[in-house]
Structure 1
Amino acid sequence: MNSSQAQALLSKWHKTQLLLPHRGIKPFVPDTRRYTKANLKSMLEKYGMVYVKPERGTFGKGVMRVEQEEGQRFAYQHEEKRVEFKNVEALYASLSKKTGKKSYLIQKGIHLLRHQKRYFDIRVMVQRNAKGPWESTGIIGRLGHPRKIVTNYHSGGTPMALEELLKSHLSQSKQAELIKKLNALGITIASQLQKTYPNFRQIGVDIGLDRSFTPWIIEVNTKPDPYIFNQLKDKSMYRKVISYWRLANEKKKVTVPSEDKNKAKSKDKNNSKDKNNSNSNSNSKDAKKAKKAKKAKSS
């Protein structure tokens, strides 16, 4: 994958557009639009709650939950801070100070399932080796920080075994059915993206479950962190994930940075100069000795 393709895959908007044509994926993609005042207003009227997030970003940074409350009041939460507004114009003005000139998206809000009054979502790891088919190698729950709106581990979320988070909601047989469905969805997503980008080898699919257990694709990460699985007590899943991760990364050539190359060239050049100077000095000394010997003989 070249650098321009890698940059394109960092765009949440671009990845969403790649997924929508697939009939088996489209029903699970939340309504996602570009961040504008008109889109913000219409989506709040339609859904009541949305997420405003950077088009390019990681670790849940910059994500804001925006709500339209009763009596035409509005509010948004960013990290642990919540701010209220009397109208959508004031809301948009405040949000736009946060977004600045960066590109942001608005995504339909999902009322996620909870565990002990805390929201959680799911990471599905999908990987393949060079010649083999896609395989779901790991699935893990992410329990959000009690005062934050994101579940990401780097933002205070807690990785947990998915079965632990689901046991108060579903029987063991229903859990198994759901996990099978989530794994299959992850593989379908990877296969769809592979049509455009045939060389990538792994993705992490973030999925939220609503109160009817419908899966919603929150985000697809093309550079997923494998180490979240090391937080589980049972290390078997982590061992599988990390083995595929190493296979995917071992093909990348480790090159000497250009600065180091230039240093190496300069060093070789200097060594060559020193060697030439040494030879020149040695030859000069020999010539002087020969000249003195010649004078001694003539005298």
Structure 2
Amino acid sequence: MKKKKTLKKPIKISYARYVTSKIAKTKALEASVKLREYVPITKQMNLESLKQMLSQYKMVYIKPNVGMFGNGVIRVEMAEDGARKLYSYQSGVRLRQFKTFQEMYASIHKLTKKRNYLVQKGIHLLKYKGNRFDLRVMVQQTPLRKWETTGVIGRVAHPSKVVTNFHNGGTLKPVDILLHKYLPANKQKAYVKKLYVLGIQVAKAINARYKGVKEIGVDVALDNELHPWILEVNTSPDPYIFRRLKDKRIFAKIRRYAKAYGRL
């Protein structure tokens, strides 16, 4: 007797939903020609790369390759006083100053130890009432698996800190309040719309390399010319910060989409 043929079950391929490596996400963005002008130069941090980028940009940020809530982020600066160069860095609320690069690097090395750190071109953020701010752009897959920007909110840094993260002392503000000083009200809507489009482009670039990603939070810095810079992409963004917005429909949609793909 011939044996009955058994149908083989299709192999289900599962993809990781979360990407923790900042350098990996940066490379995914740099692979998109459309996005390169929005991505600050980012390199693996070591003595040579820090010295070279600090000499070129005068201010840089170093951050752990894997980390959350702005923990471990350090702002490093080089100032020139005539022929002298002065070096400083701020970690948390503490500012330290040094006469030589070597002294500063030795101090930074004690903080970073054996962890993998990145060095990123410093973007001088716009300010709200004297404190730096950036924007969080929330982008999600809809139930029909299309990418949609579902919200934008501002994050104002604590007066004593270099990071804007809400979970690190930052304050949440509506975008129109933060842009009021820099952009006329009749131009704000078109500008924010560009950020919505940028968010979708970022999501597609990340998703092209990491198929399991369902949502992203894009941290966007604005410079003095209102050029947007993508500081970081979070694949596990906090949706609840959008509850702080006056328009409750925004969080309602974010929550509905998050439930559809199993986040909430």
Q: What is the TM-score of this pair, normalised by structure 2?
A: 0.91
Aligned counterpart in structure 1 of residue 48 of structure 2, from 26, 35, 38: 38
Counterpart for residue 152 of structure 2: 139
1:89 paired residue number = 102
Alignment counterpart, residue 151 of structure 1, candidates 164, 187, 204: 164
Per-residue deviation, residues 253-272 of structure 1 (Å, max 9, x unmatched)? xxxxxxxxxxxxxxxxxxxx
**Is 1:238 paired with 2:251?**
yes
Which residue in 1 is equivalent to 2:125?
112
CA distance in structure 1 between the partners assigned to 2:135 and 2:28 by the alignment: 21
The whole-number CA distance in structure 2 between the counterparts of 1:130 and 1:162 is: 27
Q: Which residue of 1 aligns with 2:142?
A: 129
Q: How many residues align?
A: 249
Q: Identify the residue that residue 194 of structure 2 maps to in structure 1.
A: 181
Following superposition of structure 1 onto structure 2, how do residues 60-75 of structure 1 map, counting pairs within 5 Å?
A: 60-70=70-80, 71-75=84-88
Say if 2:38 is the partner of 1:28: yes
CA distance in 2, matches of 1:155, 1:2: 33
Letter aligned with residue 104 of structure 1: Y
- Determine helix, strand or coil for the equivalent of 1:60: coil
Q: What amino acid is aligned across from residue 88 of structure 2 in structure 1? A: A
Contact 2:88 2:95 in 1 (8 A): yes
1:204 alignment partner AA: G
- How far residue 173 of structure 1 moved from its aligned partner, in angstroms, is 2.4
Secondary structure, counterpart of 1:72 in structure 2? strand
Percent of matched pairs sharing the same residue: 43
Output the amino acid matched with 1:19.
L
- In the TM superposition, 1:285-296 aligns within 5 A as none
The aligned residue for residue 190 of structure 1 is 203
Name the amino acid aligned to 2:48. A
- AA of the residue aligned to 1:169: Y
Taking the TM superposition and a 5 Å limit, the aligned residue runs for 1:207-218 are 207-218=220-231
Alignment-derived partner of residue 184 in structure 2 = 171
SS where residue 199 of structure 1 aligns? coil
**Post-superposition offset of 1:195:** 1.3
Report which structure shows greater RCO (CA 8 Å, sep ≥6): 2
* Structure 2: gaps spanning 5 or more residues: 1-12
1:127 & 1:187 partners in 2: Cα distance? 9
Which of 1 and 2 has greater Rg? 1
Offset of residue 2 of structure 1: 5.1
Distance in 2 between residues matched to 1:151 and 1:134, nearest whole Å: 26
SS of residue paired to 2:154 = strand
AA partner of residue 22 (structure 2): K
Pairwise CA distance, 1:174: 2.0
Partner amino acid for 1:208?
A
Tell me which protein shows more strand as a share of its residues: 2
Q: Residue 221 of structure 2 aligns to which amino acid in structure 1?
A: G
Letter in 2 for 1:43: M
What SS does the aligned partner of 2:209 have?
coil
Paired AA for residue 58 in structure 1: M
2:64 and 2:72 in contact (8 A); partners too: yes
- Specify the SS of the correspondent of 1:208: strand
Runs of 4+ in 1 over 6 A off after TM superposition: none
Counterpart-to-counterpart distance in 2, 1:132 and 1:102: 36
Partner of 1:12: 22
C-alpha deviation, 1:132, in angstroms: 3.2
Q: Scaled by the length of structure 1, what TM-score is found?
A: 0.80
Quote the residue 1:99 is aligned against.
112
Deviations 1:49-108 (A, max 9, x none): 000100000000000000001221100001110000111101110000000111000000
